[in-house]
Amino acid sequence: MNGGQAVLPLENPRETAVRLLAGFAGFGTAAVNLAISSSLFAAGGLPGHPWPMPLATAAAIWGVALLGWTVAALRNSSFPLPGWSAVLLPAAAAVHLLAIVTGGSGNMAGLNVSHLAALLLTLTIIAAQGWLRRQALGRTDDGGLPGTDSPAGASGAGRMLAAAFAGAVAVAAIATPGLAASAAGQFAVPHGSHFDSGAGGHHGP
């Protein structure tokens, strides 16, 4: 005790890096789910596709919920609603896997890539949460003491930042194709066309 307040053990830098990885994956998963929603909304008015509208709404709600959940997790350094997330995240992964297995066709084929990206990112969150949970249980078994093998000082902070950067790059590498394959990604302006001239350019007549 110090001044009437309990002194909490410092978090292992590896745990901080894994928590950041889960946060990056949460943002990526939320963005891809919103992109999936845009694709389903775009297909909702097409002949032969009467079902995407409720699925688009569900994907949008899940994407917004994931976004808020991730923001709260990074702000509080702990994932809120652990019971609900332990159920909903595997359920979402199962839905993405089912969507991949059933497959898309025609103008819906790009959803396979988006669902694969969302599945991989969701599994990343689940794996990171499981690892963090095991670390917390290990500290409890040791009487609440931090691990003795934790890197300290500038070296530990440097490793944590390097690991966080690598995690961000990995998440971006997974999320980018998923976003590009969605309807929103297909309508994005190609960067090389900004300076094209003539009828073939983006700004041409």
Query: Partners of 2 in the beta sheet?
Result: 5
Q: Print the domain residue range for 90.
A: 13-142+153-182
- Does pLDDT of 119 surpass 60? yes
Classify residue 82 by burial, with Cβ atoms within 10 Å: 0-12, 13-18, 19+: exposed
- The total of structural domains in the chain comes to 1
In a domain, 204, yes or no: no
- In Å, what is the CA distance from 105 to each residue of 58, 100, 117, 160? 21, 11, 18, 43
In a domain, 189, yes or no: no
**pLDDT digits 0-9 by tens, 60-116:** 999 999 999 999 988 888 888 888 989 999 999 999 999 888 875 555 666 889 999
In a domain, 86, yes or no: yes
In a domain, 195, yes or no: no
pTM for the model stands at 0.76
Dist. CA 117–CA 173, nearest whole Å: 9
In a domain, 192, yes or no: no
What is the residue-wise DSSP string for 185-200? Answer: HHTSPPGGGTT--STT
In a domain, 107, yes or no: yes
Query: Partners of 5 in the beta sheet?
Result: 2
In a domain, 100, yes or no: yes
In a domain, 188, yes or no: no
**pLDDT digits 0-9 by tens, 124-182:** 999 999 988 888 787 655 555 444 444 455 566 777 788 888 888 999 999 998 888 87
